[in-house]
Structure 1
Amino acid sequence: MGKVNSVSNGVWADNGTGPKPVNGGEWVSGASLVPPSQSVPPAGETISTIDYDWSTCTLNGWDDQVKVQLLLKSGSNTLTYDVSSSKQGTANLASKGFPANCTIYFQMKVGTIETGLYEPPYITEDQIQVYY
């Protein structure tokens, strides 16, 4: 993934199976990505940046219809961040104040019409590094 951010005082990483939508027009989540038990951020720590990678994917010709976002959840708080334009990159969330001890999902949506998809796109594996 990316280089370690020198202003960060902590980091956690996880990877999982990405989303595999079978219908269009709706957000579908992949596996939940969480801090490993040995890397749980202390209470009160917030996310600075997230290095993400969803390049292990098969779009099956749906490229211009695919939207991908990160969905962050902490208790009843949620935040989304669009990562459609780049399969690898860094999401700068320092100004959001979102808790570093959270669950993150990659989500995929194909088009706007809610119908079954022929040879749908999918993300085989996704990964993140969360800096706080």
Structure 2
Amino acid sequence: MRYALHFLVAVLLTAFSYYSGSLIVTDEHFVWQSLVIGLTVVSMGALTEKLGAPIWLIVLMPFPIGMSLLFMFLGELVGVWAVAYAVTLTIYTILHMFVSYLFHFHSLIPAWKLSKRTVKPV
């Protein structure tokens, strides 16, 4: 149950990052697409982790998927997509630092632990 909750939180926070990034750059609402990207990106990271991949691959694998889905859903030129992705990553990183530091939640970037306390997986 705890894993499912952490998975859901990671999906929602990732989706929020994509939603915010696309909204800032394109000024459009992007809710369901952001949820699809969040679910896909977090699922890919979880699957990669479950298969026993090294931590660098767990962190790396979701990037091309998130980038591709964002490009597809935005339907904009490459320059607009690149700015939207950069803004999304900035929001994602700041959000991770905040959530990791205050709540000791490390599911957004598993390899990047910002606090010494860890949450034990179930």
Q: Structure 1 length as normaliser, TM-score? A: 0.30
Give the structure with higher Rg (CA).
1
Q: Structure 2 length as normaliser, TM-score? A: 0.32
Q: Which has the higher helix share?
A: 2
Q: With CA pairs under 8 Å and 6+ residues apart, which has the higher RCO, 1 or 2? A: 1
Q: Which has the higher strand share?
A: 1
